[in-house]
Amino acid sequence: MCIRDRSKKHKNICCVGDDDQSIYSWRGAEISNILRFEKDFPNAKVIRLEENYRSTGHILTAASKLIENNESRLGKTLWTNSGQGEKIVIKSVWDGEEEARQITSELEKLSLKNYNLDETAILVRASFQMREFEDRFISVGLPYKVIGGPRFYERKEIRDVNAYLRIALQPKDSLALERIINTPKRGIGETTLKKIRDRSKQNNLPMIDSIKELMDEKAFKGKADISLKKLIGLIIGIFSLSAISGASATELKLATFEPPKAFIASKILAAWATKVNQCSAGSLNVKMYAGGVLGSPPKQYDIVTSGVADISWTVLGYIGGQFPLSSVIELPFLTRTSKAGTTALNTLFNEGYLDKEMAGIKAVSYTHLTLPTICSV
């Protein structure tokens, strides 16, 4: 007998649900059950639980404005006694890496203000989205803790993939080989593994060389012998592919805050990138990222030192206080022409006076652009 039939007799059924979410659809939950409930049970009394104890007023308002665009919902008016709280800030980013950089920058600013970072949290829809954040936190030395699962690089499948990548670059990496020797299962038992380890230890050999020696001596039998031959073939194959791919063109990211159609980007930098490609006979491929997609004007130096970009065209004066010697040329009335300013800057650079300011990067060239008599840009 179904629930509807039972309710006709007893008139005693209670259902709880939320028409604005359906997180258990994977086990049969359907939003339509709630939407048609009053039709299935005409005498039902609907009680809306609208007071929210978790969020502040600004969060509820934003959430309500967003969800009201859904057509299939009963509707509700959420409210709270927790106050309005801080306003929500919405930012658009180019990709996950840019999002991680912006959030890390905000956290560093809070840290400089002695804010307790233990009171901050980053919420993601899926655990794989943590990778960009972890990469960034590791690169800047920001401590963090993942709640609800292991860190991205501590997951078994990620460690396995890393081991295969290490083998592709260096087949004699014994730690990597031991990790993947039975991943996936190849039927290589502990007795066979002990034989390989013992040979490596006795003769001070990488595991792969020990396997080859033992194979020549026909020390393996049956499935283990077949699996190890296939594994050695696989390792040699992926190493060969990595060597071949390593000979392909190297892509260099050229960043600038100038718009793509601006003169600097479309004429000067585009022509320079083409010239580099030609002079390197195709071994270097300079790809330009214009319009500040990799970083705002003050961040152009940082995106090179952090590895986000390989090359950047920027204006040192936009990075306040970081380049005092180089910025001398920005003083009004110091030079009359771009040529004079460019010559002065490159002389300082070539004679080593700017080495300390440019530590960690290689300055390709300096160009000084002047506006008539007033100031330089």
**Does residue 83 sit within a domain?**
no
Cis peptide before 184 (omega within 30 of 0): yes
Residue 3 has pLDDT above 70, yes or no: no
Mean pLDDT, residues 264-289 taken together: 84
Query: Average pLDDT for residues 301-307, to the nearest whole number?
Result: 74
Residue 127 counted as domain residue: yes
- 306 and 267 assigned to the same domain: yes
Do 137 and 104 lie in one domain? The reply is yes
| Tally of domains within the chain | 4
Domain that holds residue 180: 173-245
Average pLDDT of the chain is: 82
pLDDT interval class at 328 (50, 70, 90): confident
Domain identity same for 255 and 345: yes
Identify the pLDDT of residue 214: 92
Q: Which amino acid is at 50?
A: E
**Residue 292 in domain:** yes
CA–CA separation, 292 vs 92, rounded Å? 13
The predicted pLDDT at position 364 comes to 74
Same domain, 265 and 343: yes
Q: Are residues 261 and 345 in the same domain?
A: yes
- For the chain, what percent of residues have pLDDT higher than 70? 90
In a domain, 335, yes or no: yes
- Section 340-359 average pLDDT: 77
**Rounded average pLDDT over 28-50:** 84
Tell me phi and psi for residue 265, to 5 degrees: -75, -50
What pLDDT shows up at residue 316? 75
CB within 8 A of 32, min separation 6: which ones?
A: 72
Residue 231 lies in a domain: yes
Does position 360 have pLDDT exceeding 80, yes or no? no
Sequence-ordered list of residues with C-beta below 8 angstroms from that of 298, at least 6 positions apart, any chain: 318, 319, 320
CATH number for the domain harbouring residue 220 = 1.10.486.10
Find the range with the poorest average confidence among 103-112, 220-229, 257-266. 257-266
**For residue 358, is it within any domain?**
no
pLDDT digits (tens, 9 = 90+) for 78-118: 999 989 999 999 888 888 888 999 999 999 999 889 999 99
Banded pLDDT at 196 (limits 50, 70, 90): very high
pLDDT at position 371 over 50: no
> pLDDT value at position 359?
64
Q: Of 42-51, 125-134, 147-156, which range is least confident?
A: 147-156
Are residues 140 and 181 both part of a single domain? no
Nearest to 188 by CA among 178, 203, 176: 178
Same domain, 319 and 292: yes
- CATH code of residue 335: 3.40.190.170
**Residues 260 and 328 reside in one and the same domain:** yes
One domain for residues 238 and 269: no
Q: State the CB neighbour count (10 A cutoff) for residue 82.
A: 14
Query: Do 342 and 326 belong to one domain?
Result: yes
Is residue 206 pLDDT above 50, yes or no?
A: yes
- Can you tell me the distance from the alpha carbon of 150 to that of 127, in angstroms, rounded to the nearest whole number? 9
Q: Is residue 317 part of a domain?
A: yes
pLDDT score of 84: 94
| 16, two tokens | 């709880």
Q: Which of 239, 233, 281, 274 is nearest to 254 (CA)?
A: 274
Q: What is the pLDDT of residue 51?
A: 94
Question: In this structure, are 240 and 268 located in the same domain?
Answer: no
| Res. 377: pLDDT tops 50 | no
The answer, yes or no, to whether residue 375 has pLDDT greater than 60, is no
**Which range, of 118-122, 197-201, 232-236, 366-370, averages the lowest pLDDT?**
366-370
> Do 198 and 239 reside in the same domain of the chain?
yes
Which one has a higher pLDDT value, 352 or 109? Answer: 109
212 lies in some domain: yes
Which residues, in sequence order, are CB contacts of 123 under 8 Å at separation 6+? none
* pLDDT (0 to 100) of residue 6: 67
